[in-house]
Amino acid sequence: MTPASGKKKTGGKWKRKKQKPKYLNPQDIPDELEQLFPDETIERIAHETGFIKRERIVHPVPFFWALVLGYGTHIQRTLAGIRRYYQKMSGEEIVASSWVSRFTPALVKFLQGAVAHALQQTANDAGRVLDEKLKRFEDVLIFDNSVVRLHEALAERFPATRSRKVAAGVKVSLLISAVANGPKKVSIHSENTADIKTLRVGRWVKDRILLFDLGFYRFQLFARIDENKGFFVSRLKKDGNPTILQSLKVHRGRSIDIVGKTWQEIKNQLKRDVLDAEVEVTFSRRAYRGKKSRDSKVMRLVAVWDEEHREYHAYLTNISEDVLSAEDIAALYRVRWEIELVFKELKSQYALDELNTTNPNTVYGLIYTAILTLIVSRRLHNLLLRSVPRELAPRYTPLLWSKVFTELGHSLQTAMLDHIGFEDGPPDAFTTLAALYELQALDPNVKRHRLRDDWYA
């Protein structure tokens, strides 16, 4: 009988052959994490926020890594589990009441400060490179919100708006950067906050493309992005009715007179695969001194026929036709699905959907913990993408990576705590991790087409 691949028989027992990474340097793993969160930075934030005081009952550095790599990867699923683990690796006894009392506004500020530090650090961390078509842009940004359900006992503090029974929830807002391969901005709002109020546009949008769903469909928002020299792509609402000024490009199909007509007037008469036109929209500006003024804006309308659903998919944008074709605009908008995958990753892999607590401070603390776990995960994913050959990088997809990162969470947690002087980890732990990351996070489907590969890799 032939032994299984990768194993050999020793002394009557099967022993797994040790694997070594081909591309990823094992020492780069702890170096990358310490570069993102240096010990002195964690301690500084802990002291500045009042989370740690002179008595130092809890050491901020091992506490931080135990929380982010423990709770965030489902190893310790409860606060009691985190306490037991922290006691085990620190050798310190902490009574339950003292531990729970640590989940205070100061802890929330500590974790929030760690998130702010990480986002600033990763702002220029290029995990991906934009395609040649997007070379004139700085980044592709995707913005969206997701509701996180909370314990019903918090219904008065965090009232739900989309539930027929007593329920509680908060809205988590994320701005995802394609280049950084992770979050660029994070905020938490009450569930009844309108989506449009969670996105504030400023000079930061310059030379960047924003993608968002119909929850952010406001001509005022589009105008502000354009006036700040940014770019956007949005679906056109079904009842959207801009006035067509001119056709930008004639596509295959029977032509009809469209100039001066509205979209609703012509959409059922079109007999072409693609419409690419310049349109005008009118809207009310924000109130100034109690008065609202009317304004108008010229935008680009793209409509692409969907044969499967027998309808047009229509989009509004301010990206000119000489930069991206109509077909490119439609394809680029589909990349917006990536933020849905990020929220799925947060909820299914990093415990964002497991906030079974009645303590508001714990709610905020564990949301920020999930975000920190995502940031750490994407930082190591970027490290892997930089290490492997360029032709292999697209096969290390974020979703598969997140599953592998979570499954190996305990090994990473132990190795990292051993690295900083707490916990006794196995020898060559990072070597084993690097090899497993390379092997298990690689999508075996060599020829699978991935939508994002058309735009960045």
Mean pLDDT for 115-139 is: 83
pLDDT over 90 at 116, yes or no: yes
pLDDT over 80 at 448, yes or no: no
Q: What is the distance, to the nearest Å, from the Cα of residue 337 to the centroid of all Cα atoms in its chain?
A: 11
Domain boundaries, the chain: 26-123+357-444, 231-329
- Confidence (pTM): 0.87
3-state secondary structure the chain: CCCCCCEEEECCEEEECCCCCCCCCCCHHHHHHHHHCCHHHHHHHHHHCCCCCCCCCCCHHHHHHHHHCCHHHCCCCCHHHHHHHHHHHHCCCCCHHHHHCCCCHHHHHHHHHHHHHHHHHHCCCCCCCECHHHCCCCEEEEEEEEEEEECHHHCCCCECCCCCCCCEEEEEEEEEECCCCEEEEEEEEECCCCHHHHCCCCHHHCCEEEEECHHHCCHHHHHHHHHCCCEEEEECCCCCCCEEEEEEECCCEECCCCCCCEHHHHCCCCEECEEEEEEEEEEECCCECCECCEEEEEEEEEEEEECCCCEEEEEEECCCCCCCCHHHHHHHHHCCHHHHHHHHHHHHCCCCCCCCCCCHHHHHHHHHHHHHHHHHHHHHHHHHHHHCCCCCHHHCCHHHHHHHHHHCHHHHHHHHHHHCCCCCCCCCHHHHHHHHHHHHCCCCCCCCCCHHHHCEC
Mutual angle of helices 28-36 and 429-440, in 10-degree steps: 90
pLDDT of residue 2: 44
Mean pLDDT for 279-284 is: 92
Instruction: Place 1 in a pLDDT band, splitting at 50, 70 and 90.
Output: very low
- On average, the pLDDT of the chain sits at 86
Instruction: Place 179 in a pLDDT band, splitting at 50, 70 and 90.
Output: confident
pLDDT of residue 17: 62
Q: How confident is the model over 74-90, as pLDDT tens digits?
A: 766 677 777 777 777 66
pLDDT over 60 at 325, yes or no: yes
pLDDT of residue 77: 64
Mean pLDDT for 388-401 is: 91
pLDDT of residue 424: 77
pLDDT over 80 at 57, yes or no: no
pLDDT of residue 369: 92
Return phi, psi of residue 271, to 5°.
-130, 45
Q: How confident is the model over 223-269, as pLDDT tens digits?
A: 999 999 999 999 999 999 999 999 887 665 556 788 999 999 998 88
